[in-house]
Amino acid sequence: MRYIIFFILAISVILTNCSAPKTATESSVDNQQLGMKLWLQECQRCHNIPDPTDFNDAQWDVIGAHMRTRANITDKEMMLIIDFIKGANNQ
């Protein structure tokens, strides 16, 4: 019985690793668009909108954590904004 379970788990791992690489899905595109909309809407309320290339990914993470509390937005909204910025800054 243990061998059957081990065999099934081994096959599952192999099949999972052999799947085709993921491509951009419609939901990831929607998330990028929502992130851009939130970035334009929320950041502009208090200051000029920064260029995504002004900072690298690590710096944007720190900025995002700080600005989330200042802008009073949810973690999900901040993650959408940061993911959009990271995708746009190519750093």
| Residues of the chain below pLDDT 50 | none
Q: What is the pTM of this model?
A: 0.67
For residue range 16-30, what is the model confidence (pLDDT) as tens digits? 656 555 555 667 889
How far the first Cα of the chain sits from its last, in Å, is: 51
Structure tokens at 41: 């809407």
Residue 65 per-residue DSSP state: H
pLDDT at res. 2? 66
